[in-house]
Structure 1
Amino acid sequence: MKKVFKNFLYQATYQLLLVILPLITIPIVSNSLGVKGIGIYNYVNSIIVYFTLVAGLGLANYGIREIASVREDKSLLAQRFSELLHFNIAVSFSVIVIFILFVLMVNRYQSYFLISGLAIVACMFDISWFFAGIEDFKVVTLSNLVIKCISFFLIVFFVNSADDLVKYLLIQSVSLVISNIVMCFFLKGKTTLVKVTLEQIFSHFKPAVNYFYGNLAISLYTTLSKTFLGLIVSVSVVGLYSNSMQLLTMLVIIITTLDTVLMPRLTYLFESKNVARMINVIERTFHVQLFLSIPAMFGLIAINNKLIPWFFGKSFSYLAYTVPVLAPLVIIIPLGTSVMRQYLMPKNEIAKFNFSVYVGAGIGVTANLLLIPFFKIWGAVVASLLSEIAVTCLRLRYLFRETSFTFYKKQIVGYCFSGVIMSIVIYVLTYNLQPTIVTTFIQVFVGILVYGTLTSFLNVNPLISILKKIFEK
């Protein structure tokens, strides 16, 4: 487990950076571009996502599993990597051609689409699935770390007004391309390219498409709200909804870090017929995740009113209503993601994964179509909640029905009790403070202190036992 912990530290460091940097850039970008600029950015990218999905064609999950299953055999590893790499290039190139034709047909935001379309080019060079498959998260983490820091400084210095939307799009898109290209230089010594036939390359089409269907369905219920809001209501409302979800996303990224690290390890355990060990690992990590996600939800609700004004700016004040309603997703999304990455993917249960997201997509699309025309942003909020709840409930049902997995009720009750008390203490102690960054830091510090103390006192803090095991070794 030492390697898993090491990989977790690499991923946690990177994911933490993905949260820390936006704490600086989001206020800058939101105040500079305003609701409309943020709305255009998210509306354009909600459409670009569909092209990048096809370009990636499920390799984010399928590629990891394929590499993880042959990582012990250098010859097979080189063969599989070469097949997947050529397959990725062929699919990405085809999508780029289709995208260019699409841009020529659109009348609105054509230049923005072209710039953001560089994300599709980035897919051609994306080999992060290889490094994740061999459990070498150091390369992906460090290369992305450097590029993210560079793009961070470029945003700070060059995005200063509503006229800088093009600069912002360029920085985001070009940094994505460069970060993927940089990873290619670290392949030396890991594997080699070997000659492969067209038949071998496209033998991955059918299984990859199975993963793609699921990813497409996920996109339908996670990004379609932005597309519908942009088409039916306005790009300004897209900006409000997108920033509401962005707060939750930052927390979800941190909470789901362990899933990315564990997926190749759990695949290896399943392939080695060590299913009992696999379920034991899943059970422990789920409760560590809940230990983090439950206070994150209560904490977000508690600090919301003091956070929104300085973080996003006055034009985003309406988020004070939407964020608390969406806050349960901080628990719901990571739970569903964990079942997918830690159980369904390692077991190659693609049909079950796809069914869960098909249900989510069906509910999401239907709710968006029915509710957005009448309730606007609140229609999108309700659609997001309904679809994510449905997906998570279905996946948990698979886990309960097929394994001995169980939730530890005492621990979860302890997390909830501590989270409620924490949020009350935060609210009371900081009620009269001004909405500033200093206030937010005070609230977070108080929250961590109260929650950590209460969970330790109730003997439900899993971090204590984890740290004990690490230091004992």
Structure 2
Amino acid sequence: MSKSISKNAVFKAVLNVSNIIFPIIAMTKVLPAIGTALNGYLTMGETLTAVFMIFATFGVSQYGLREVSRVRDDKEKLGQTITSLFLITTTTTAITSILYVIFLIMHESEKAYFYTCMVMGLNIVFNLFNVEWINEALENYDFIAIKTMIVKIIYNVLTIIFVKTQTDFLFYIYLTSAINFINNIASYIYIKRKIKFDFSNIQIIKHIKPMFSVVILANTYILYTWFDKYIINSVMGYVEAGYYGTAQKIMSLIDILMFTIIQVSMARLSNYLANHSKEVYLNLLNKVVKIYFLLLFPASIGLLCVSKQVILLFGGGTDIYLPAVPILMVFSIYMLTIGIDRIIADQIIYIFGKEKKDAKLVLIGGIINLILNLLLVVTNTLTPTRVITMTLIANLAVIAMEYRLVKKEIKLDIKLFSLANFKYLYYSLIFIPITYFINENVSSVILSCTIDVVVCGMIYLIILLVTKDKVFYDLLDTVLEKIKLKI
């Protein structure tokens, strides 16, 4: 299988750009329409379903991607591996769905957001048909992009047309669940037409043990931020949790686009390490890191600089979501740590099969996060902004421990924190004084945000051109070559 990484990246980028543009349009309508209270309901529903979804998927998105990538050139092993993993996730999904309902009845039945959580729990059931990890392992990014774009367009158009007031809230959560089902079932039908289940050599025990570690490793971000929202809801209420959730969603929109490079290269990196050489793998990894950082750092610092304008725009021009501004500012820095962690955990530790050790490091980080948050509770200083700050600190500790593992045990000669990689952060820091000056002198929210993005983007481009940045020029040459081929 010889699909181009650059072609895959284009399909994935188109998909992720659409996943940013359409949700932005929809959220600017939905957030002011439903108000802060119902947004809190939505946040708690998303939080609880996300946690249970971890155990329903059972790490198959990461583990399945790696295992299928390794055997994708052998049709017999491919069918057997997919069948074994599908049987595991079918079982875990069924069990988790039942446990989710029991949990809600026992612990959340008296809460105002109970019904919202029940409806959104359908997404756990629909995980039965979630086979997107197979498409990613087989690098079917053209199908994923086209299918998901069509579904997303329908979803966002319906949202914009029909969700106008708080009375439309139930329609909104019904629509969200229905669209998720359609997205999953379309992928399931596509895969079933291409690959037949093979029950001749079912292996359950072989996969169960490593998948336990992946459950923790692949969901670090969800586990940490889930606890954040849960403790905010318990101490301050679901409205404050909603502010946290709003900031997190906005950051996630940008993070999805950044994650494109990691997603499209993971299958290839795993395949190279298994079937070629460590040197070939390392060359590709270094290239991916540089491209990723070239985009990640300006995106993160840029979001930090326009946090207030973004919150106002998503709030429909009203100030009801202004308490989310400082939360989003911290989230923009947290996005940096997520990106660095993805490189270390997903593209190095996991591909070298050290996920069990990394899971222990993640648990240590979780304990650090728990202690720091409990200190906030005990000292009566807990706020959503301080909670995400504590999570940021915990994630930095995890990164430090993971990098030590890479250097000491895997012994991979990668200089992740070198000047060659981090110069993009230093370039991006110039955005801070520039945007401060613009925002102080331009009162219009839309105009100031537009000027911020255009001016900072142009300055960043000029710096790359003046310094003759090799990574940028390589990317530019690749894009121009693709355009010539198309013409």
TM-score w.r.t. the length of structure 2 is: 0.90
The CA distance in 2 between the partners of 1:367 and 1:408, in whole Å, is 26
Equivalent residue number for residue 397 of structure 1: 404
Query: Aligned AA for 1:355?
Result: K
- Once the two structures are aligned, what percentage of the paired residues are identical? 21
Correspondence 1:28 to 2:33: no
Query: Aligned AA for 1:415?
Result: Y
Correspondence 1:185 to 2:189: yes
Deviates more, 1:406-415 or 1:92-101: 406-415
The CA distance in 2 between the partners of 1:326 and 1:278, in whole Å, is 32
**Deviation of 1:405 (Å):** 0.7
**Deviation of 1:471 (Å):** 4.5
Query: Aligned AA for 1:162?
Result: Q
Query: Aligned AA for 1:383?
Result: M
**Deviation of 1:217 (Å):** 5.0
Query: Aligned AA for 2:179?
Result: S
**1:357 alignment partner, one of 352, 362, 387:** 362
Mapping of residues 363-402 of structure 1, within 5 Å: 363-372=368-377, 373-401=380-408, 402=411
The CA distance in 1 between the partners of 2:350 and 2:417, in whole Å, is 24
**Deviation of 1:381 (Å):** 2.1
Q: Is the 8 A contact 2:373 2:382 kept in 1?
A: no
Correspondence 1:223 to 2:226: yes
Query: Aligned AA for 2:158?
Result: L
**Deviation of 1:244 (Å):** 2.0
Spell out, residue by residue over 1:192-249, the C-alpha distance to the aligned partner (whole angstroms, 9 max, x if none): 122357x634543222222113345543312111111112211111111112222322
Correspondence 1:431 to 2:435: no
The CA distance in 1 between the partners of 2:300 and 2:394, in whole Å, is 18
Equivalent residue number for residue 232 of structure 1: 235
What SS class does the counterpart of residue 441 from structure 2 fall into? Answer: coil
Equivalent residue number for residue 424 of structure 2: 415
Correspondence 1:244 to 2:247: yes
Equivalent residue number for residue 160 of structure 1: 164
Correspondence 1:341 to 2:346: yes
The CA distance in 2 between the partners of 1:213 and 1:470, in whole Å, is 37
Spell out, residue by residue over 1:42-74, the C-alpha distance to the aligned partner (whole angstroms, 9 max, x if none): 112211122111110110111111111111101
**Deviation of 1:460 (Å):** 2.6
Equivalent residue number for residue 85 of structure 1: 86
Q: Is the 8 A contact 2:213 2:355 kept in 1?
A: yes
Q: Is the 8 A contact 2:15 2:145 kept in 1?
A: yes
The CA distance in 1 between the partners of 2:321 and 2:102, in whole Å, is 36
Query: Aligned AA for 1:124?
Result: L
Alpha-carbon spacing, 1:160–1:469, altered in 2? closer, same or farther (3 Å): closer
Spell out, residue by residue over 1:316-372, the C-alpha distance to the aligned partner (whole angstroms, 9 max, x if none): 112333333333222211110122221122222112321231122111222223214
Query: Aligned AA for 1:230?
Result: N
Query: Aligned AA for 2:128?
Result: M
The CA distance in 2 between the partners of 1:319 and 1:222, in whole Å, is 15
The CA distance in 2 between the partners of 1:216 and 1:459, in whole Å, is 38
Query: Aligned AA for 2:262?
Result: D
The CA distance in 1 between the partners of 2:330 and 2:52, in whole Å, is 31
Query: Aligned AA for 2:363?
Result: Y
The CA distance in 1 between the partners of 2:355 and 2:418, in whole Å, is 30
Alpha-carbon spacing, 1:408–1:204, altered in 2? closer, same or farther (3 Å): closer
What SS class does the counterpart of residue 365 from structure 2 fall into? Answer: helix
The CA distance in 1 between the partners of 2:352 and 2:433, in whole Å, is 42
TM-score w.r.t. the length of structure 1 is: 0.93
Deviates more, 1:350-359 or 1:266-275: 350-359
The CA distance in 1 between the partners of 2:302 and 2:224, in whole Å, is 26
What SS class does the counterpart of residue 185 from structure 1 fall into? Answer: helix
The CA distance in 2 between the partners of 1:314 and 1:408, in whole Å, is 39
Alpha-carbon spacing, 1:367–1:163, altered in 2? closer, same or farther (3 Å): farther
Mapping of residues 138-287 of structure 1, within 5 Å: 138-187=142-191, 190-196=194-200, 200-201=203-204, 203-215=206-218, 218-287=221-290
What SS class does the counterpart of residue 72 from structure 1 fall into? Answer: coil
Query: Aligned AA for 1:309?
Result: L
Equivalent residue number for residue 39 of structure 2: 38
- Structure 2: tracts of 5 or more residues without a match: 483-487
How many residues are matched?
472
Query: Aligned AA for 2:286?
Result: E
Mapping of residues 272-311 of structure 1, within 5 Å: 272-311=275-314
Equivalent residue number for residue 133 of structure 1: 137
Q: Is the 8 A contact 1:63 1:129 kept in 2?
A: yes
The CA distance in 1 between the partners of 2:55 and 2:405, in whole Å, is 28
The CA distance in 2 between the partners of 1:163 and 1:411, in whole Å, is 53
Q: Is the 8 A contact 1:92 1:121 kept in 2?
A: yes
Query: Aligned AA for 2:334?
Result: L
**Deviation of 1:406 (Å):** 1.3
**Deviation of 1:383 (Å):** 2.0
Query: Aligned AA for 1:342?
Result: Q
**Deviation of 1:469 (Å):** 4.5
Equivalent residue number for residue 5 of structure 2: 4
Equivalent residue number for residue 448 of structure 1: 457
**Deviation of 1:16 (Å):** 1.4
What SS class does the counterpart of residue 194 from structure 2 fall into? Answer: coil
Query: Aligned AA for 2:403?
Result: L
**Deviation of 1:409 (Å):** 4.2
Deviates more, 1:449-458 or 1:385-394: 385-394
RMSD: 2.2
**Deviation of 1:127 (Å):** 0.4
Query: Aligned AA for 2:81?
Result: R
- Structure 1: tracts of 5 or more residues without a match: none
Alpha-carbon spacing, 1:235–1:144, altered in 2? closer, same or farther (3 Å): same
Equivalent residue number for residue 485 of structure 2: none
Spell out, residue by residue over 1:120-174, the C-alpha distance to the aligned partner (whole angstroms, 9 max, x if none): 0121100011111112222222222111111111211122122332222222222
Q: Is the 8 A contact 1:255 1:293 kept in 2?
A: yes
Alpha-carbon spacing, 1:219–1:407, altered in 2? closer, same or farther (3 Å): closer
**Deviation of 1:407 (Å):** 4.0
Q: Is the 8 A contact 1:87 1:202 kept in 2?
A: no
Spell out, residue by residue over 1:364-401, the C-alpha distance to the aligned partner (whole angstroms, 9 max, x if none): 22222321453232331222211221222222333344
